[in-house]
């Protein structure tokens, strides 16, 4: 499967935090032929191990979940009220198309309803959107029709977001945060299946990152890595109106290396090692501006007695929107950098 097909499949799959089952099944099918051991833990993390049982354990992490909503109430008139899962900018919600998944696993399309400008008074036009006033319309006229569709309170919702290949060698999709990271891990596992590592490699496809780094916490406790890398989609804000000092990363400038974010201060030994590896291998890269964002690395580095943990990210414009844009070159270079750092990872311990 080529990059585009892989990213399309992963991004379009339904996988709200806590409801990652479909994403996990797809990834399991892809990677199980490559694995020496593969298992799903109690929370739903998929842990794929190559060459188990060695002293040196490298953990690679990418989260499967995406942000979305949950049905919180069903109006008599057949409208769904909802509550956000993960961090949303309310201003994006006005005309958002969504997919609701019922308990039988059937997906039902709909849209967040809005008031047409024709009947808004001037104050209304200027007022910010409030999630509590919003509703989803799936085409039902009554609560009974909603029941017939099999939709119930607590059902998960994600934004609608067809994958699109844009001109300029860019891709657009709803869930590159962090399915692009999942795709990187799949490519890295493929490479290591051809040239097996002489250490233990544990790739973890984690659940519930978007609601507080939850899956990675218990996964790292089980894996007890020596060294770990979280592979993420991060904020590219190289767009009009953002001052230089507030741009965490730029699209097209290569994978972003984290020194510090809100969840971790990367050990300088590891941060320098990642940067030096990129330089030695001739891989374009950039340093992510501190201290924006938080990643699974924040949970992983605190597991057990602690693990040297870093973050390598693919710059994503419009992250936490249904229209995330990333560059194919950045994606490729992230695979290269994660692979190079992984191959050399045992040398990190040699450094002072």
Catalytic residues: 209
Inter-residue long-range contacts of 187-195, CB under 8 Å, 24+ positions, other chains counted: 187/335, 187/339, 188/60, 188/335, 188/338, 188/339, 188/342, 189/31, 189/34, 189/35, 189/48, 189/50, 190/34, 191/339, 192/34, 192/50, 192/342, 193/33, 193/34, 193/50
In terms of CB distance, is 140 or 261 closer to Co ion?
261
Q: Give the DSSP letter string of 242-268.
A: --GGG-SB-TTS-PEEPSB-SS-B--H
In terms of CB distance, is 155 or 177 closer to Co ion?
177
- By CB under 5 A, is residue 261 in contact with Co ion? no
Separation between Cα atoms, residue 259 and residue 282, nearest integer Å: 20
Separation between Cα atoms, residue 59 and residue 342, nearest integer Å: 9
- Is residue 172 within 8 Å of residue 325, measured between CB atoms? yes
Separation between Cα atoms, residue 232 and residue 60, nearest integer Å: 11
Angle (nearest 5°) at CA 75 between 121 and 91 = 45
Least Cβ distance, residue 81 to Co ion (angstroms): 26
Stretches 48-56, 172-180, 213-221, 250-258: which one binds Co ion (CB under 5 A)? 172-180
Least Cβ distance, residue 311 to Co ion (angstroms): 10
Least Cβ distance, residue 233 to Co ion (angstroms): 5
Question: Rule CB under 5 A: which of 173-212 touch Co ion?
Answer: 177-178
Stretches 88-96, 171-179, 196-204, 214-222: which one binds Co ion (CB under 5 A)? 171-179
Closest CA to 183 of 231, 215, 252, 234: 231
Question: Rule CB under 5 A: which of 100-159 touch Co ion?
Answer: none
Least Cβ distance, residue 234 to Co ion (angstroms): 8
- Is residue 288 within 8 Å of residue 313, measured between CB atoms? yes
Least Cβ distance, residue 67 to Co ion (angstroms): 9
In terms of CB distance, is 48 or 314 closer to Co ion?
314
For Co ion, the binding residues (CB under 5 A) are 177-178
């Amino acid at each position: 499967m080529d990059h585009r097909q892989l990213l399309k499949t992963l991004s379009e799959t339904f996988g709200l935090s806590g409801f990652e089952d479909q994403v996990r099944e797809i990834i399991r099918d892809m990677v199980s032929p490559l694995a020496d051991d593969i298992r799903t833990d109690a929370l739903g993390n998929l842990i794929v191990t190559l060459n188990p049982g060695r002293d040196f354990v490298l953990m690679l992490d990418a989260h499967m979940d995406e942000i979305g909503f949950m049905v919180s109430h069903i109006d008599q008139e057949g409208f769904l009220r909802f509550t956000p899962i993960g961090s949303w900018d309310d201003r994006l919600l006005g005309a958002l198309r969504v997919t609701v998944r019922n308990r039988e696993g059937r997906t039902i399309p709909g849209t967040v309803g809005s008031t047409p400008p024709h009947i808004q008074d001037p104050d209304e036009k200027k007022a910010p959107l409030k999630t509590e006033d919003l509703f989803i319309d799936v085409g039902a006229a009554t609560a009974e029709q909603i029941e017939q569709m099999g939709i119930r309170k607590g059902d998960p919702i994600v934004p609608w977001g067809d994958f699109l290949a844009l001109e300029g060698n860019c891709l657009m999709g709803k869930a590159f945060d962090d399915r692009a990271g999942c795709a990187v891990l799949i490519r890295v596992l493929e490479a290591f299946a051809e040239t097996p590592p002489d250490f233990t490699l544990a790739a973890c496809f984690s659940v519930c990152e978007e609601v507080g780094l939850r899956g990675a916490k218990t996964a790292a406790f089980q894996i007890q890595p020596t060294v770990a890398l979280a592979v993420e989609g991060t904020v590219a804000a190289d767009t009009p109106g953002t001052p230089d000092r507030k741009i965490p990363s730029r699209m097209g400038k290569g994978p972003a290396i984290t020194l510090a974010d809100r969840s971790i201060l990367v050990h300088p030994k590891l941060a320098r090692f990642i940067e030096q590896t990129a330089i030695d291998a001739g891989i374009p890269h950039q340093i992510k501006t501190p201290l924006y964002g938080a990643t699974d690395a924040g949970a992983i580095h605190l597991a057990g007695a602690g693990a040297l943990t870093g973050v390598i990210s693919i710059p994503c414009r419009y992250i936490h929107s249904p229209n995330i844009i990333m560059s194919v070159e950045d994606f490729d270079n992230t695979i290269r950098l994660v692979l190079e750092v992984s191959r050399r990872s045992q040398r990190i311990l040699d450094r002072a």
